[in-house]
Amino acid sequence: MTSSDRYGPTRMKDVASAAGVSMTTVSLVLNDKAVGIPAETKQRVLDAAAALGYRPNALAANLRTRTSDTIGFVSDTIATTPYAGAMIQGAQDAAWKAGKLILTINTNGDPAVEAYALNALLGRQVEGIVYAAMYHQMIEVPAAAKEVPLVLLDARSADSEIPSVVPDERGGAYEATSHLISHGHKRIGFLKNTASVPAANERLEGYREALEANAIAFDGELVVAGDSGLAGGYAAAMALLVEPHRPTGLFCFNDAMAAGAARAAHELNLRIPDDLSLVGFDNLELVAPFTNPPLTTMQLPHYEMGVWAVEQLINRIDGEDFSVFHQRMQCPLVERASVGPPPTRT
Amino acid sequence: MTSSDRYGPTRMKDVASAAGVSMTTVSLVLNDKAVGIPAETKQRVLDAAAALGYRPNALAANLRTRTSDTIGFVSDTIATTPYAGAMIQGAQDAAWKAGKLILTINTNGDPAVEAYALNALLGRQVEGIVYAAMYHQMIEVPAAAKEVPLVLLDARSADSEIPSVVPDERGGAYEATSHLISHGHKRIGFLKNTASVPAANERLEGYREALEANAIAFDGELVVAGDSGLAGGYAAAMALLVEPHRPTGLFCFNDAMAAGAARAAHELNLRIPDDLSLVGFDNLELVAPFTNPPLTTMQLPHYEMGVWAVEQLINRIDGEDFSVFHQRMQCPLVERASVGPPPTRT
DNA sequence: CTGTTAGCGCTTTCAC
DNA sequence: GTGAAAGCGCTAACAG
C-alpha cells in the first residue's frame, strides 16, 4: 500500500515489503525451502501472500531455474480417430501427477507445420516431447525433436534409440484366437484388412501362432482380406460363410469389420453365437457393446499407453531408468456375447 | 568462438558477437522490426543465427514483453466422449493460426484439481482460457478463471457475462422434424431422454415448434422418454410402434436411441424407411453411417465450436469485438437413408 | 542505423 | 536467520 502502488499483478517484491522481509525470505518460504526460518516469520509471509492474492510468475521462475515443468505433445491428427482421447487423457493424467503441464500441438500430418511446431515447443523450453500417432505406425522423427528427451506413442521409428509404446497386436490376436479355440472352435477364419500397417501383419501373426500352439493347421483359405470398414468385413465374411465347409468362428481385424461380418451372418440366417462366433478388435465404445449380440473384442490400451509414454518421458527427463525402450502394451479381452461353442454339426 | 565458450544453448548474445553487432540489432532483425538496417547487416545476423543453430528462448522474451502467446484449455473430461477430439482439434487449429500454443489440462470434474490447474495456467501467464465441457451443460466457473479473458465451450454459465458457444439444439431439432414433415409425415414421434440436460429440453422444443409451424397438432402420446442409450431407444420406440395408430416417423434424441429404435422396428418387421422413417442426432461417425440402413441425423458442430471459442477468445485478448456473447452453432442435417415418404396405408 | 542500458519477476550464492 | 545483489535471456527506451 505504501510505496509500490502500481498496475499489474502483485509481485514477490510486494509480498516481501508487506511482510516486512526480503524477497529471499519470501522465496524460501513459498518454495518450502525455509529450513531455519521461524514459524512466526513464515506465517507472516504466507499471510501477506494470501492477502495480496499473490501468484508466482512461473515464467520468471523458469527462466531463472532453466526448467519449465512443461512437456510437449505432438500428434499427427487428433480428431479423426475415436482413440485419441484416451491417449491424451492418459498422458495428461500422468503429467499432472508429476506436476507438469502439457503443451499440445497437432500437425495434421503437415511436415512444415511440424517443423514450426517443434520450434515453438522447444523455444518454450519444453523438457521433453511425446510424439503421438493416432494409429500404430512407423514414423520418421524430425531431428529437432531429438534435442530433448522424446518418446513415441502408438508409433515406432526406424531409429531404435527412441523409446516407444505400441499395443501388443500380436499378443492380442493370439488371445482372441485362443479364446475362440478354447470354446471348441477348430475352423477359425481371419478377416484381415488390406492395408499393410503393423497392426494388420502382427494380428495375422498372432492368429497363426495361436493356431499352431493348439495344433490346428493354418489354412490360407480361411484368411480373407477386405477394407477395414464395415463393408469390407461384410464382403470378406460373405466370401467365407457361403462356402460349404464354412468356419465356425471368425477373428476380425477390427470391430467395424466384425459388424460387417455380423451383417453377413444375419443375411445368411446364421445366428450369433449359435452358428457363428465373432471376435473383434478395438473395443469401440460406441459400437462393440451395441451390436446384436454385443461383441466380444480386444481392447486397445490407449489410456495406459498415454500414461506409459509420459512416465517414461519423465524418467528420462529426470535422468532415471533408461532400461525399457520399446513397450508393447497388452490388449485385454473384453468378453461380451458373440462367442459360444461351435454348432454341433457344421 | 572467441570469448564465450560455455555450455548450454546459444543465446542472442552469442549470435551478436558472431555477427559483430549488438544484441539490439539481432533482436530487431530476428523479430522483423529491422526498419532501416542494411540488407547486408541483416544477412550477416541471419547467417550467424543459422550457423549457431540459434533458437530464441520464448520464456525470456515473454517475461520481458509480458505476453505468453499461450492459451489455456480446461476441460472436465476428455476421453469418455467421442466428441471431444473435434472440439480440441478446432481449438488447436484456430490457436495455431493465431500463433498461439495451447496448454491443456483436464480436471476429471474434480474441483480441487480444477483450482490447482487454474493456478498453474495463470501462473504461466496464459492470455486467456477456454473452458470446455464435454457435453452441452450449465456450469459454474471458478472465480480465478475470470482473471483473464474466458470463453465457455459446449457449456453455458449462469453468469451471462461469460461468452459461450453451444450447439443450436432447438434449431437442429426443428430441422430434423421439418425434414420428416417435408417427406409427408404427419404422425411423428419423439424419443426423448430422461435426463434433464439442455439438449433434451431444447430438442423437444424444436420438435414442437416444427410441428406447430406446419399446423400439426402436438400429441403428448407421441413423445416417450427412455435412457439415452440403445436400450432406452429400443424400449421407447417399442412402446410407440406397437400401438395401432403408430407414428410413421421418429425423431430420436440421439443416434444411440435411433439405433435402438431401428432394432425395435426390425423385430416388428417394420422396414426402414418404407414403414418407418428415422432421424437421429449427433452423427456419431462410427455408428450413424453403419446402421442398416445408414442413419439420417443431425451433426453436432464440435469442430466449429472449438474454432469459434478460440477465435472469440483471441478477439477478446486483443481487445476487439466484444459483440457476440452467446453463440448457438448450427447443427447441419446429414442425409443418409433412413428417411422416406410414409407408407400409403398406416 | 546501431549500441548502451535498464529492467521483466524470480532464484540463489554469499555475506552479515 | 535473513538481506543485498547478481543474473536467467530477452526487449525497448533512449542516445548518438
Give B260-307 pLDDT, tens digit per residue: 999 999 999 999 999 999 999 999 888 888 888 999 999 999 999 999
Residue B82, pLDDT > 80, answer no
Distance A93 CA to D7 C1' (A): 35
DSSP state of B223: E
Under 8 Å CB pairs connecting chains A and B tally to 138
Q: Are strands B101-106 and A326-329 parallel, antiparallel or unpaired?
A: unpaired
Strand C bases contacted by the protein (CB, 7 Å): 1-5, 7-13
Q: Does A137 touch chain B (CB under 8 A)?
A: no
Distance A24 CA to D9 C1' (A): 22
Percent of chain A past pLDDT 90, that is, above it, reads: 78
* CB < 7 A contacts with chain C (nucleic strand): A 8-9, 11-13, 23-24, 27-28, 30-31, 33, 56-57, 60-61, 63-65; B 20-25, 28, 36-38, 41, 60, 63-64, 66
Give strand pairing partners of B193: B226
CB contact under 8 Å between A256 and B102, yes or no, is no
Ordered alpha helix ranges (H), B126-247: 169-182, 198-213, 230-241
Distance B64 CA to C7 C1' (A): 8
pLDDT digits (tens, 9 = 90+) for A93-110: 999 999 999 999 989 888
Q: Where in chain B is the domain with CATH 3.40.50.2300?
A: 70-166+302-329, 169-300
pLDDT digits (tens, 9 = 90+) for A117-163: 999 999 999 999 999 998 888 998 999 999 999 999 999 999 888 99
A309 and A162 Cβ atoms separated by less than 8 Å: no
DSSP state of A341: P
User: In whole angstroms, what is the distance from residue A83 CA to residue A77 CA?
Assistant: 11
Of B24, B32, B30, nearest to B55 (Cα)?
A: B30
Stated pTM of the model: 0.92
User: In whole angstroms, what is the distance from residue B87 CA to residue B92 CA?
Assistant: 9
B266 and B260 Cβ atoms separated by less than 8 Å: no
Among candidates B63, B117, B124 on the partner chain, residue whose Cβ is nearest the Cβ of A63 = B63
Provide the angle, in degrees to the nearest 10, between the axes of the packed helices B198-213 and B169-182: 40
Q: Are strands A188-193 and A249-252 parallel, antiparallel or unpaired?
A: parallel
- What does the DSSP assignment read for A116-181? HHHHHHHHTT-S-EEEEEEEEEEE---GGGGGS-EEEEEEEES-TTS-EEEE-HHHHHHHHHHHHH
Among candidates A62, A70, A78 on the partner chain, residue whose Cβ is nearest the Cβ of B89 = A78
Residue A3, pLDDT > 50, answer no
Q: What is the mean pLDDT of residues B143-167?
A: 94
Q: pLDDT-derived band of residue A6, with 50, 70 and 90 as boundaries?
A: low
Residues of A in contact with B124 (CB under 8 A): 58-59, 70, 101
Q: Does B188 touch chain A (CB under 8 A)?
A: no
A307 and A86 Cβ atoms separated by less than 8 Å: no
Q: Quick one: pLDDT at residue A173? A: 98
Q: State the residue for C-alpha cell 495434421.
A: A108
- Residue of chain A with shortest Cα separation from B82: A82
Domain B3-56 has CATH 3.40.50.150: no
Of A278, A224, A272, nearest to A251 (Cα)?
A: A278
Q: Does A337 touch chain B (CB under 8 A)?
A: no
B274 and B89 Cβ atoms separated by less than 8 Å: no
Domain A70-166+302-329: which CATH number of 3.40.50.2300, 2.20.28.90, 3.40.80.10, 3.30.1490.190? 3.40.50.2300
Q: How far is A267 from chain B (nearest CA, A)?
A: 12
Which CATH code fits B169-300?
3.40.50.2300
Q: Where in chain A is the domain with CATH 1.10.260.40?
A: 3-56
Q: Which residues contact B317 (CB under 8 A, 6 or more apart)?
A: B71, B127, B128, B148, B149
Q: Does A142 touch chain B (CB under 8 A)?
A: no
- Looking across all nucleic acid strands, the nucleotide with the smallest C1' to CA distance from residue B11 is D9
User: In whole angstroms, what is the distance from residue A48 CA to residue B34 CA?
Assistant: 45
Residue A85, pLDDT > 90, answer no
Grid coordinates belonging to B167 = 450447439
- Cβ count near B144 (within 10 Å): 17
Q: How far is B41 from chain A (nearest CA, A)?
A: 25
Q: Which residues contact A142 (CB under 8 A, 6 or more apart)?
A: A111, A114, A115, A118
